[in-house]
Structure 1
Amino acid sequence: MRCPYCQSEDTQVKDSRPAEDGAAIRRRRACPDCGGRFTTFERVQLRDLIVVKKSGRKVPFDRDKMHRSLDIALRKRNVDPERVERAVTGIVRQLESTGETEVASDDIGHLVMEALKLLDDVAYVRYASVYRNFREAKDFQNVLGELGDPEEE
């Protein structure tokens, strides 16, 4: 693993332990050249996923980008980061288990909405306002109605 500080390719693993309920390995590393310390995560990746945008453009799936979007929706909400990580891992597993290498961005957005509905109602509404491109207050009322009725959506 290359050192993020000095780019040396000779880094050493100092500690390894399971993370994300055993779905990943967290490794503490040190660089003997510059003395820098950093953490890496190793995860199983069943297949490379390609996201098909609404415009038809195709981009590689980015787990970290999806995680950041959840973090933005959950900003200043009291949700355990471990629950968020489990949600992200669950979404990725769902996407990988479909057997498809290409996935529509709408499908990812829908899975994120489902996860947020279980994590935090306010974050769900925040994400929905961007994902569904709300234009007026009535749009917020509609999504709040969905929260009251779990059969909808």
Structure 2
Amino acid sequence: MWCPRCKEKDTKVIDSRVAGEHACIRRRRACIACEYRFTTREYIEVRYPRVIKRGGGRCQFDPAKLRSGVSRALEKRPMTSEQFEQLISSILDKICQISDDEITSQAIGEFILSSLKEADEVAYVRFASVYQSFNNIDSFQALIEDMQEQKEEQRSESCSEA
């Protein structure tokens, strides 16, 4: 590791500890030449699958694009940045658990929809309207009625168990 101040290649590790829920290693380093101290972080390099788009084209998965789409659906919704990061992390975990080298954009969309449905119903409807290309009010109404039916089924199941 080279020193950011003097560009010397010889540095030593002074301290090393696990950080961020065991997601990275934080290392405190010192330059042998100029004694400048600095911090580095090591992260696991995640290998995402390639995305098969609806038209059949393939591209590299972009976590920033996922983050942007979910963020847009959650705009002006009561979700903390910590909750948002947990939501994104859970979606990315689902994508990484796919053992194939490729994943369809539809599968990614379904992961996002199922996560949003649990987290925020309004964001779920917003994302679904774009993802499923709603073009009229009937599409929204059908989705909301379907959600209400599912809620009623869950209520009746929980009442029958009690």
TM-based fold match above 0.5: yes
Unaligned runs of 5+ in 2: 2-6, 27-39, 154-162
Q: Match of 2:60?
A: 60
Deviations 1:73-113 (A, max 9, x none): 00011112222212222222212222111000000001101
Q: Match of 1:120?
A: 120
Amino acid at match of 1:53: K
CA distance in 2, matches of 1:71, 1:59: 22
Amino acid at match of 1:80: T
Report sequence identity in percent. 30
| Residue pair 1:50, 1:58 contacting (<8 A) in 2 also | yes
Q: Match of 1:36?
A: none
TM-score (norm 2): 0.68
What SS does the aligned partner of 1:135 have?
coil
1:143/1:64 CA distance change after superposition, 3 Å: same
Aligned Cα RMSD in Å?
A: 3.5
Please state how far the C-alpha of 1:40 moved relative to its aligned partner.
7.5
CA distance in 2, matches of 1:104, 1:23: 30
1:133/1:103 CA distance change after superposition, 3 Å: same
Question: What does residue range 11-90 of structure 1 map to in structure 2 within 5 Å?
Answer: 18-19=19-20, 22=21, 24-25=23-24, 42-45=43-46, 47-90=47-90
What SS does the aligned partner of 2:59 have?
strand
TM-score (norm 1): 0.72
